[in-house]
Chain A
Amino acid sequence: MGKTVLIVDDSASMRQLVSFALRDAGYDVIDAINGKDAMSKLNGTKIEMVITDLNMPEMDGIEFIKQVRNNPGYKFTPIVMLTTESQESKKQEGKQAGASGWIVKPFTPEQLIDIVKKFAR
């Protein structure tokens, strides 16, 4: 069975792009539309890695990262943020919250796969 990656983004096209690229590379993908949705999908599922956007309605990425880190089952799970160049301060916030790394948007599928390979060992 392949490794499972959770992608959290409110933009449907981004979710699709990421899912497509990752499935192509042999990963299983679960998607969620915001932090709240993601938390409910995370519950108990075995996940190798999380990729999350930062600006989302209901529960934003920072809060989501904090909650994931506070959940004993996902304390050490790699979390990669999707950021834009202009979000330097957000990036800092995310790191403080416990994110493992980041990908700067826009990215190519190859760049995405590289990062995922790196973290989802």
Chain B
Amino acid sequence: MVDFKKLYSIFVDEAMERIAELEDGLLQFEKSSEDKELLNTIFRAAHTIKGSSGSIGLKDISAFTHHMEEILDMVRQEKLSPDKELINTLLDATDMIKEMVGCVASETVFDFGRCEGLLKRMEEIKKSPESGGKSQEIKTFKIIFAPSHDLFKRGIDPAMIIDDLRGIGEIVSIKCLTEAVPALSDMNPENLYLRWDIQLRTDKDASEIKNVFEFVEEGSEIKIFPVSTTGKDVPFIGKMLIDEGVVKAEDVEDALKSQKRLGEILAEQGKVSPVNVEKALEKQRNIKMDSFKKSVSSTIRVDLGKLDHLINIVGEMVIIHSMFQQAIQGGNWLSVTDNGGNGKNGSLMTHNSAQNMEALFSQLQRIGKDIQESAMSLRMLPVGEIFQRFIRLVRELSASKNKDIELIITGEDTELDKGVLEKIADPLVHLIRNSIDHGIETPQERLNKGKPEKGTIHLSAYQMGDAVYIDVEDDGRGLNKEKIVQNAMSKGIITNDQGLTDEQICNLIFMPGFSTADTVTDVSGRGVGMDVVKKNIESLNGKVYIRTRQDTGTTISIKLPLTLAIIDGLTVLIGEEIFVIPITSVVESLRPNRMEVKSLNEKVEVINVRGEYIPLMRLYEILGITSWKKDPWDAIVIVTMHEGRKYGLLADELLGEQQIVIKNLGTATPKVRGIAGGTILGDGRVALVLDVPGIAEMVKKQVTT
């Protein structure tokens, strides 16, 4: 027998990619079920998994996937209509395959007995008769038409579309949405800012409606979905019964309302205790979370353009290298200069050696910088890699909370360092859960407030300056400042609310031990709270900001550095040693005069900086090294900021500012207090990078004890 094991890792990599395609595809397909190309992509993904697993001897995975493939094929041939039950089943099946592949990766045995339920469900779906599809019944469709801004410039009049729609059915209602129209000063009169919300009654199906939009599709947002008469998601069996006229739609809805969850039924019958059900649910959620986390792999896919660019510059470097050699050997060398493309490609020039070297050196410097930038860019991944996963999360969590929430994603092309990206997923899950659970109100509450029934979470990423921002914005109830203050006081986090600014109040939710939810709920509010989110983000050198307005919504903005590895540092000298302080935490540097330095007691010294007293830390004491300048008025104080407080660090001399690449100290050295890592300076010397938050903690302890 052939040993397939060697092929397993290749299979796992490929299968994980296909699984992601399947999942994304199915979620999108649910929204745009007329997209044939998308359906083909989904089908191909399933087909590939089936084929590759079969060919390396994983027969069970192959057989399981075969069922999915069959269902998808039937959908393709319009023998089945993709309703919610079908999509749900296929999504569950995708999860199952993910676990199977996970077992292949970890070389553990997967219990295929677990698939039985799903296999049965898939069988059921395959048996169900052709439903809906091409029937000639008259249906109502809701059409959202948001044309691209440049429609006029492409010679197209949007009224043409509306006329065409009139040609295939009856327009029940038409609303012109003007939200996107900018202020007069920002308006380009040649742009089209209007959007339309149209209800169309027609015997045509969605694909025929879509044809109307053929010429305007590109750059426009077009959503077509049937408006069901019952208005709610009805399980398949219910839909069939209604279609056949056996029961009324209202009866089915009533029945659905009285339907209970399995856990509740078992608990009522006394078979299990509610606590056990809760535990099992928790476990189930954790399993889901785990499969979520695994979605970022340890390999990286690099854009071919980036790789080509890197190879290109490396090639340039090789040329410079040989030019150096020539310059060293001969003294005379050839220089190719661009003469402005007048036919002469270059001219022959002679220089003396020193000049040559200098010119070459500056070129080498430039290329070195290019290579560095280019190599770093290889680590950059689009945030879309993790954003896509949240669609599923929001879909499931909002359903479990009986809320109708739409996740809008923008800026998924924004790139982040892979290391940052991996660590940002967890905090984002937490923030999104919070929005779903606490932020967005129930549909009824929303209607009472005059808001749209459907809540929105807007997840966006964008780059500004040298940082990337990720915003989680919801249109929910906003933070309740009174409640926060009350809660913080009852938990003993603050003693009174005197002099607290709104911003400071909001930031209270980041304190350890804070949780505003009145009751512990399924989704969030289990004690581990925003403090963990903040800690995680700060460990990435990031920051968290909150903007909130009562009844309007909350935006949590995460600011992240472009990359973890390279930082701007301030180099200082203490005794014989050079240290680096990350410039992000430096406020200023100064030399105090004798009068401005005061000691509170033996341990604690402060300096007066323009009327503000800040604690002074003598770095040579903390680091246990000798310094030449023990008096602050001879030395230099670098004022740093951590969590809104200033700390003065005493060093001998300020050397300058430079970009450094932080290296881990490695596992051989024990963790040193106050040191974040090491780096190699331009002249080849090694310097340690100071950990300002760590030092600040030490100061806090000294001041309080």
> Which residues from chain A sit less than 8 Å from chain B, CB to CB?
69, 75-79, 95, 98-102, 118-119, 121
B156 touches A78 (CB 8 A): yes
Known: A76-B152, A98-B155. A118 touches B218 (CB 8 A): no
B164 surroundings in chain A (CB, below 8 A): 118
B154 touches A98 (CB 8 A): yes
B159 at the interface (CB under 8 A from A): yes
B153 surroundings in chain A (CB, below 8 A): 69, 75-76, 98
Contact string, B144-178, partner A, CB cutoff 8 A, digits 1/0?
00000000111111011000100000000000000
Total number of residue pairs linking A and B with CB closer than 8 Å: 33
Smallest Cβ-Cβ distance to A77: which chain B residue:
B155
Q: In the assembly, what is the distance between CA of A76 and CA of B395, in Å? A: 42
Number of interface residues of B (CB under 8 A): 13
8 A-B pairs (CB sep. < 8 Å):
A75-B153, A76-B155, A79-B155, A100-B215, A119-B155, A119-B156, A119-B160, A121-B159
Known: A95-B218, A118-B164. A101 touches B156 (CB 8 A): yes
Contact of A101 among B152, B159, B215 (CB under 8 A): B215
A99 surroundings in chain B (CB, below 8 A): 154-155
Q: In the assembly, what is the distance between CA of A107 and CA of B153, in Å? A: 26
Q: In the assembly, what is the distance between CA of A98 and CA of B152, in Å? A: 10
A100 surroundings in chain B (CB, below 8 A): 154-156, 215
Smallest Cβ-Cβ distance to B157: which chain A residue:
A121
A78 touches B159 (CB 8 A): no
Chain A nearest CB: distance from B413 CB in Å?
19
Smallest Cβ-Cβ distance to A102: which chain B residue:
B215
Q: In the assembly, what is the distance between CA of A95 and CA of B215, in Å? A: 9
Smallest Cβ-Cβ distance to B215: which chain A residue:
A101
Chain A nearest CB: distance from B568 CB in Å?
41
Contact string, B212-228, partner A, CB cutoff 8 A, digits 1/0?
00110010000000000
Q: In the assembly, what is the distance between CA of A69 and CA of B152, in Å? A: 11
A98 surroundings in chain B (CB, below 8 A): 153-155
Smallest Cβ-Cβ distance to B150: which chain A residue:
A98
- Further contacts, 20 of them, CB under 8 A, given A101-B215, A119-B155, A121-B160: A69-B153, A75-B153, A75-B190, A76-B152, A76-B153, A76-B155, A77-B155, A78-B155, A78-B156, A95-B154, A98-B154, A98-B155, A100-B154, A100-B155, A100-B156, A100-B215, A101-B214, A118-B160, A119-B160, A121-B157
Q: In the assembly, what is the distance between CA of A78 and CA of B156, in Å? A: 6
Smallest Cβ-Cβ distance to A79: which chain B residue:
B155
Q: In the assembly, what is the distance between CA of A101 and CA of B160, in Å? A: 12
Chain A nearest CB: distance from B457 CB in Å?
33
B214 surroundings in chain A (CB, below 8 A): 101
Chain B nearest CB: distance from A73 CB in Å?
13
Q: In the assembly, what is the distance between CA of A1 and CA of B155, in Å? A: 22
Chain A nearest CB: distance from B213 CB in Å?
11
Q: In the assembly, what is the distance between CA of A89 and CA of B214, in Å? A: 16
Contact string, B480-521, partner A, CB cutoff 8 A, digits 1/0?
000000000000000000000000000000000000000000
Q: In the assembly, what is the distance between CA of A98 and CA of B164, in Å? A: 22
B215 surroundings in chain A (CB, below 8 A): 100-102
A118 surroundings in chain B (CB, below 8 A): 160, 164
Q: In the assembly, what is the distance between CA of A98 and CA of B155, in Å? A: 8
Q: Which of B181-237 contact A (CB under 8 A)?
A: 190, 214-215, 218
Q: In the assembly, what is the distance between CA of A99 and CA of B151, in Å? A: 10
7 nearest CB pairs, A to B: A78-B155, A101-B215, A100-B155, A100-B156, A100-B154, A77-B155, A76-B152
Chain B nearest CB: distance from A86 CB in Å?
18
A78 surroundings in chain B (CB, below 8 A): 155-156
Smallest Cβ-Cβ distance to A100: which chain B residue:
B155
Smallest Cβ-Cβ distance to A68: which chain B residue:
B155
